[in-house]
Amino acid sequence: MTFIDSHSHLILEPFNNDRDTVIQEAFSNGITHIVQSCDNLEEVERNLILTKKYKNLYSSVGIHPHEAKLWQAVTKDTIIKYTKEETVIAIGETGLDFYYNYSSKEEQLLAFKEQIKIAKEVSLPLIIHCRDAFKEALEMLKEEKPECAGVFHCYTGDLQTAREAIKLGFYISWSGILTFNNATKLKEAAREISLTNSLIETDCPFLTPIPHRGKRNEPKYVRFVAEELAKIHNVSVDEVGEITSKNTKKLFGIK
């Protein structure tokens, strides 16, 4: 069985004492590629160190909606400069989070819109974080029409929203939340979404899947998300790994 973890945060503090071990264990446990997400420009610098150290690690570049208040201090040219790096394969994670509102709605909408424009200019897909703002996010995407589409990572929306996102060319990425006992509606949505429109991720160190919930999440645990999807679709775990890996490579241009 082989899998791709399409969204991780290995440069965060919980991995400071054993980051290399975690990466090596992932590759030893059937993880063929890991996509590192970026929340701000300081993080992309640290991601690039990792992606240059390990083959099959990749990074995005962007400003998370929590940090959208920093957008005015960011220059478009700086982000575009990072996209020239061979291991940078996406813009994000960007999007909208109207649950926490760590940045104002106006700041988030501006940063999201500008990053969609950059994605169009450099022909890279978007990694979208969305919480309690699916209506607004879809409206923005319909208005701006990103050419390379992207993925709604760590999906928590309903079936209708997922279908609308797919119509716009986006993939739906399932995380450890799918394994939670109380994720009934999410499981129902996943059942109706084809595997050909799906990715899998850990979002580590967050959202650890059952049976390791409560512990730090790691890329090697993405197999438990795959197992849950296999159960939902009544297919083999191998098939889930094969299809979602193919989708991830296609989306991000991974050879």
Q: Residue 37 sits in a domain of what CATH number?
A: 3.20.20.140
Predicted pLDDT at 161: 97
Any alpha helices (H) in the chain, and if so which ranges?
Answer: 19-28, 41-53, 76-83, 105-122, 134-144, 159-167, 184-192, 222-233, 237-252
CA–CA separation, 62 and 40 (whole Å): 6
Predicted pLDDT at 73: 86
Predicted pLDDT at 13: 98
- Please say whether the beta carbons of 89 and 253 come within 8 A: yes
User: Residue 112's closest CA among 132, 131, 92?
Assistant: 92
Model's pTM, two decimal places? Answer: 0.97
Predicted pLDDT at 56: 97
CA–CA separation, 133 and 141 (whole Å): 12
- Please say whether the beta carbons of 135 and 154 come within 8 A: no
CA–CA separation, 142 and 136 (whole Å): 10
49-59 burial, b for 16+ CB within 10 Å, e for fewer? ebbeebebbbb
Q: How many domains does the chain have?
A: 1
CA–CA separation, 28 and 116 (whole Å): 36
- Find the distance separating the first CA and the last CA of the chain, reported in whole Å: 19
pLDDT tens sequence for the chain (255 residues): 999 999 999 999 999 999 999 999 999 999 999 999 999 999 999 999 999 999 999 999 999 999 999 898 888 899 999 999 999 999 999 999 999 999 999 999 999 999 999 999 999 999 999 999 999 999 999 999 999 999 999 999 999 999 999 999 999 999 999 999 999 999 999 999 999 999 999 999 999 999 999 999 999 999 999 999 999 999 999 999 999 999 999 999 998
Question: Domain of 127?
Answer: 3-252
